[in-house]
Amino acid sequence: MNVAIVGATGAVGIEALRILEQRRFPIDELRLFASPRSAGTRLSFRGRGLDVAPLSPACFDGIDLAFFAAGAAVSRDYGPLVIRAGAVVIDNSSAFRMAPDVPLVVPEINPDALRRGAPLIANPNCSTIILLMAVAPLHRVARVRRVVVSTYQAVSGAGRQAMRELEDQSRAALDGRPVEPRVLPHVCAFNLFSHNSDIGADGANVEERKMAEETRKILADDGIGVAATCIRVPVMRAHSESILLEFERPLSPEQAREILSAAPGVRVVDDRAANRFPMPIEAAGGDEVLVGRLRSDPSRGDGRGLLLFACGDQLRKGAALNAVQVAEHLPLPGPRISKAVAQ
């Protein structure tokens, strides 16, 4: 299988490269693309060096599968060209997520959406993926009617430059030097602020609307109410979410724990005696979404409310891993002798 990664030098692209190697994804030829500024960068794959090439309309001849991790504008410009060249596109941007004919997929939740022959599959927003890994198993049993979620989003969601900025700002603040934001709109070291996406007339920002719209599409249930508040926090990697669920019928914390313990891709961390629950520092670098703090909503007495807390690595399950898992579910060309083409 011939594979391309668009945006190979970004945080998600580099993670995708690592995951393809870790999971021994069948690859005959691997091509890496990025902006002209990053072209010429040399990356390692399976012990061999690969040069990153500049993106151009003619560079996808012979490609079977392309992972896009370079933003919505690049996906809109190049995605259709790649599809016309005969490849399947898995897009990590927001460009096509809500298009009616584009599957929006989390393989553990809605693999049936991967209908045979779909040339373009959208990867959901990272916060949506982490939310639904915790919510979907419970929804299957008791049907969720309402979700109230507050996110604590690591700077990894804003890319490698934002991660470097947090590191630099933290050093500067501890040294007593002035701290100036350059990548993010506000100082991120020792601070938190509302997610840096545009705010609409209703007061919700783009990230919050994404979570609501994508949740309904992935769960195929337009009746679910979603109220999200998205916050950027001074954590390097892994998002956290505080979640309140309202069900159609009662569901106890004990039942929820049993359901989530059996859910693929989820690990329950809920040790009340030791006061040990999900933490982003433990989710970072891992593939599972950690879920805990399971307890009934004390504001209602009918057993239909549940509180929980979840953490997941935004770059892995929230982005690159989910994309590779989607590819593993596709009826793509069969495996040949795996190798990377070294430049």
3-state DSSP of the chain: CEEEEECCCCHHHHHHHHHHHHCCCCCCEEEEEECCCCCCCEEEECCEEEECEECCCCCCCCCCEEEECCCHHHHHHHHHHHHHCCCEEEECCCCCCCCCCCCECCCCCCHHHCCCCCCEEECCCHHHHHHHHHHHHHHHHHCEEEEEEEEEECHHHHCHHHHHHHHHHHHHHHCCCCCCCCCCCCCCCCCCEECCCCECCCCCEHHHHHHHHHHHHHCCCCCCEEEEEEEECCCCCCEEEEEEEEECCCCCHHHHHHHHHCCCCEEECCECCCCECCCHHHHCCCCCEEEEEEEECCCCCCCCEEEEEEEECCCHHHHHHHHHHHHHCCCCCCCCCCCCCCC
Q: Does any domain span residue 335?
A: no
Could you tell me if 154 and 319 are in contact, meaning their C-beta atoms sit under 8 angstroms apart? no
Could you tell me which of 240, 196, 210, 243 has the C-alpha nearest to residue 124? 210
Q: Does any domain span residue 333?
A: no
Residues spanned by the domain of 75: 2-124+321-328
Q: Does any domain span residue 266?
A: yes
Write the burial class of residue 182 (CB in 10 Å: 0-12 exposed, 13-18 middle, 19+ buried): exposed
Annotated catalytic, 186?
no
Q: Provide the pLDDT for residue 332.
A: 67
Quick one: 132 and 120 in the same domain? no
Quick one: 155 and 27 in the same domain? no
Annotated catalytic, 239?
yes
Quick one: 132 and 278 in the same domain? yes
Q: Does any domain span residue 341?
A: no
The mean pLDDT values, 10 residues at a time, for the chain of 343 residues are 95 96 96 90 93 90 95 95 94 96 96 87 98 98 98 92 95 94 94 92 93 98 97 97 98 98 98 97 98 97 97 97 96 46 30
Q: Does any domain span residue 244?
A: yes
Catalytic residue among 126, 188, 230, 311: 126
Could you tell me which of 263, 267, 207, 260 has the C-alpha nearest to residue 231? 207
Q: Does any domain span residue 10?
A: yes
Could you tell me which of 239, 205, 267 has the C-alpha nearest to residue 128? 239
- Which residues sit opposite 268 in a β-bridge? 291
Q: Provide the pLDDT for residue 335.
A: 43
Quick one: 294 and 210 in the same domain? yes
Quick one: 31 and 96 in the same domain? yes
Quick one: 20 and 133 in the same domain? no
Q: For the domain that residue 157 is a member of, what is the CATH number?
A: 3.30.360.10
Q: Does any domain span residue 337?
A: no
Q: How many independent structural domains does the chain possess?
A: 2
Could you tell me if 153 and 239 are in contact, meaning their C-beta atoms sit under 8 angstroms apart? yes
Quick one: 234 and 270 in the same domain? yes
Quick one: 117 and 147 in the same domain? no
Amino acid (one-letter) located at 213: E
Q: For the domain that residue 81 is a member of, what is the CATH number?
A: 3.40.50.720
Catalytic residue among 59, 239, 311, 329: 239
Q: Provide the pLDDT for residue 333.
A: 62
Quick one: 18 and 150 in the same domain? no
Q: Does any domain span residue 342?
A: no
Quick one: 221 and 278 in the same domain? yes
Quick one: 115 and 150 in the same domain? no
Quick one: 176 and 260 in the same domain? yes
